[in-house]
Amino acid sequence: MATQAMQERAGAITFKGGPMTLLGSELKVGDTAPDVHLTAGDLSVKSLDDLLAGGAAMFIAVPSLDTGVCSLESQKFNARLGELPSGVKAYVVSMDLPFAQARWCGAQGENVTLGMLSDYRDHSFGRNFGLLIKELGLLARAIVVVGKDKTVRYVQLVTETTNEPDYDAALAAAKAAA
């Protein structure tokens, strides 16, 4: 049985100025969001249907919560979740193990209401959303908003991995998707 080669997008992003390759097709607004199998803190596996559950979702992809920029970004989104309507869920997705994600949440000293999901098992989020960095085995920094109908409503790929995203644009897109 032949398998189809994974698309590689060389130079799609940079890490500390060096070009990196993203694996998977580029996700675009209007596409149907592909399914994923992400691991929650209780080690259960969540599909896209589970995560949407009748509402929209904002996926905040970060390389690792153990880095300064990823930690800061997650803190900023967590602080601004009150701006989102009740029909929108927000999730941080990384390759960090669920135990590391829980440790990060506990270290914040505040109530972290962002959902935490790990792509460590099969990298389906990274591959299917076109955000897996080939050279690092980590996710690219990106924001993807998916409507309750599974349509991609917004994609923000941060082209230099060490930079922060446009928070206002991401939150506005998530509000519009509700």
Q: Give the residue numbers marked as catalytic.
A: 70
d(CA 60, CA 140): 10
Closest CA to 9 of 22, 27, 20: 22
H or E segment to which residue 69 belongs:
helix 68-79
Cα 83 to chain centroid distance, Å, stands at 19
Cα 46 to chain centroid distance, Å, stands at 14
Check residue 156 and give left, alpha or beta (phi > 0: left; psi -120 to 50: alpha).
beta
d(CA 147, CA 153): 6
Contacting residues for 70 by C-beta, under 8 A, at least 6 apart: 62, 63, 64, 94, 141
d(CA 14, CA 90): 25
